[in-house]
Structure 1
Amino acid sequence: MLAWPGYAEPEVVAAFEQRSGARVEVSVVDSDTVLWQRLTHNHAQDFDVFAANTAELQRYIRQELVLPLDTNALPNRRRQLPRFRDAASLPGLVQGGRLYGVPYAYAEMGLIYDRVRVLDPPSSITALWDERYQGRVLAYNDGSHNFSLAAQALGLKTPFHLSEAQWPRAVDRLIALRRNVAGFYTQPEESVAMFKRRQAWLMFANYGSQQLQLVRQAGLDVGYVIPKEGALAWLDCWAVTRGARDPALAHAWIDHLLEPEPSRLLMTRQGLGCTVQASPVERPGDKLLWLEPVENEERRNALWARIVSGDRASRVLAP
């Protein structure tokens, strides 16, 4: 299988091996790009099952790299919270009436704030642009997500699909964000060190509750909120490859992960949300916006690179 860190803990694997009599080989990935490379380029037959977020899973389905799932072979789906059992309401899991992924882990991208210096907890994503926090804000270094944040700050209908007329306004918002932040991070551990070193007051938490756990373990007194516009959120799902040698065994593995112990370890060790227990950081009324494919990821990242480099709006949008 191909798994993300913490998705196939040693004791979870050992329990499945004892139960099934099978031997499990786990390969760990750390990016969507690596996952795609491992499952394409003639290597798909090397893996039976893998985890991918809903936005990424859609391209595996389009390329016919995954099998539709047999829901009868997944009885533990009944353990999942209602919003995760209703697969049709989640983007990209059901196509042609057939289920292609089983939700397993997720993280919402909320706001982490210093409770000593920020006495009034932020309620909106627009806090990232608040002049009161100038030079005390940390953000994530990614064009795709940041254009979605700009769309939210502008009150646009959807953060994942910008029209041609909306690009200039989004670019202006991100130039303003660049001017307000103290720095951009890429990895959760990097963000913790930067939060301490820069004495930050507010941070966009791309890794959500997992990142919150790391910051608190570092001894920082921080709070966490999901903005009123809704938090961007990734939802990782298990899927079975079209080249799976034993699809029944792959289904059994997925079903095994929906038992209480794997989910407990996912929450306590990784700080991630799971699909069988309520999240300790979400409040009634919080809204999550599950990631979807954006209109043009290459354009978002190319424009973001120009923005970070310090270009003016006219230069950013120039051909």
Structure 2
Amino acid sequence: MLAWPGYADPDIVKAFERRFEVRVEITVVGSDDMLRERLARRDPDTGGPPFDVLAANTVELQRLRDLNQLSPLPLAWIPQAAAQLPRFLRREAIPGLTQGSQLFGMPFTYSEMGLIFDRRQVMHPPESIQSLWDERWRGKVLAFDGSVHNFSIAAQARGLSPFRIPETQFGPLARHLVALRRNVRAFYTQPDESADLFRRHQVAVMFANYGRQQLKLLREQGLDVGYVLPREGALAWLDCWAITRQARSLTLAARWIDTMLSPEVSRVFSQRQGLANTLEEPPDVAAGAALMWLEPVENEARRIALWQRIRDGDRPERLGS
């Protein structure tokens, strides 16, 4: 099994081993790059990746599906899936999960990227992603230092697709991000860093790239903060369980996924990791809130290059038409 930290805790694994009289071998990865490297290895017996089951986000899932490395999921052996929230039962609406009538990934956990605000300064919860550009909060805004996501939220603010930016819109969106740069106090990269900046600089509004993880950190520090999802929809990552095409036992792999979707395991996972499960709506978010699952973008290299120029202080007129 290939999984992320906390996705297969020892007590859950041992219970599964006892129930099905098997032994589970787990490889833990900490980044998408590491996941790709592990999946590039080959089992001498099967010729495929040396894993039966893996956890990956929808972007990686789509890549693996296109490489013909995944097996369609046998839903008949995953009965717990029927109890998932409606947004996860509409599987064809989630990019990367399906191809034709076949399902290749089972939603397991997710985190949306909302807006965190200081209740003492912001009397009315911010409704739009455009709040990050609101000049009332100049110098009191925190944003994430990420090229892909920043172009996505700039596109949202202008009513465009966050993942498919038209060629003619890169210049205008780059200039919109210059305006964001001028409005923020700082850009952060890590959750702990964002919590420290929020507290030290009395920040009013923050784009929460790590979602509830940051909310939890701030509340643990005693700050009176709220959390909302913008009306344009919140970018969100979704990790899914999948079965490799070379899996030795399709039945056993499906039983593992079914176990991870059980109410008991789902609740324990959320309590321990602070991440949402697919059976219950998390607090602070209205049922049916609009989530925009991450997809591959039109030109990642271009976003990276433009964002670097914006961060380095390029003037708007030099960023294209």
Match of 1:144 in 2: 148
Report the Cα distance in structure 2 between the residues aligned to 1:215 and 1:132, rounded to whole angstroms: 22
Aligned partner letter, 1:77: A
Structure 1: 5+ residue stretches without partners: none
Match of 2:242 in 1: 239
Could you state the TM-score of these two structures normalised by the residue count of structure 2? 0.93
Q: Deviations over 1:21-44 (max 9, x none)?
A: 222222222222221222125476
Could you state the TM-score of these two structures normalised by the residue count of structure 1? 0.93
Query: Alpha-carbon deviation of 1:10?
Result: 2.4
Conserved? CA contact 2:87–2:288, under 8 Å: no
Conserved? CA contact 1:209–1:281, under 8 Å: no
Query: Alpha-carbon deviation of 1:317?
Result: 4.4
Conserved? CA contact 1:49–1:239, under 8 Å: yes
- Asked whether 1:290 is paired with 2:296, we answer no
**Which residue of 93, 104, 108 corresponds with 1:104?**
108
Let me know the Cα RMSD of the aligned residues: 1.8
Greater CA drift, 194-203 or 59-68: 194-203
Moved over 6 A (4+): none
Conserved? CA contact 1:303–1:317, under 8 Å: no
Report the Cα distance in structure 2 between the residues aligned to 1:79 and 1:87, rounded to whole angstroms: 13
Structure 2: 5+ residue stretches without partners: none
Match of 2:15 in 1: 15
Query: Alpha-carbon deviation of 1:187?
Result: 2.1
Q: Deviations over 1:139-164 (max 9, x none)?
A: 111111111100011122x1110111
Query: Alpha-carbon deviation of 1:20?
Result: 1.6
Aligned partner letter, 1:116: R
Query: Alpha-carbon deviation of 1:64?
Result: 1.3
Report the Cα distance in structure 2 between the residues aligned to 1:58 and 1:33, rounded to whole angstroms: 15
Conserved? CA contact 1:231–1:288, under 8 Å: yes
Aligned partner letter, 1:119: M
Query: Alpha-carbon deviation of 1:60?
Result: 0.8
Report the Cα distance in structure 2 between the residues aligned to 1:30 and 1:150, rounded to whole angstroms: 28
* Structure 1 counterpart SS, 2:309: helix
Match of 1:212 in 2: 215
**Which residue of 307, 311, 314 corresponds with 1:308?**
311
**Compared CA separation, residues 176 and 42, structure 1 to 2 (3 A):** farther
* Structure 1 counterpart SS, 2:25: coil
**Compared CA separation, residues 28 and 314, structure 1 to 2 (3 A):** farther
* Structure 1 counterpart SS, 2:216: helix
Match of 1:182 in 2: 185
Report the Cα distance in structure 1 between the residues aligned to 2:91 and 2:295, rounded to whole angstroms: 15
Query: Alpha-carbon deviation of 1:89?
Result: 2.0
**Compared CA separation, residues 314 and 32, structure 1 to 2 (3 A):** farther
The aligned runs of 1:242-281 (5 Å cut-off) are: 242-281=245-284
The aligned runs of 1:92-131 (5 Å cut-off) are: 92-131=96-135
**Percent of aligned pairs with the same amino acid:** 55
**Which residue of 57, 60, 75 corresponds with 1:53?**
57
Report the Cα distance in structure 2 between the residues aligned to 1:7 and 1:186, rounded to whole angstroms: 23
| Count of aligned pairs | 317
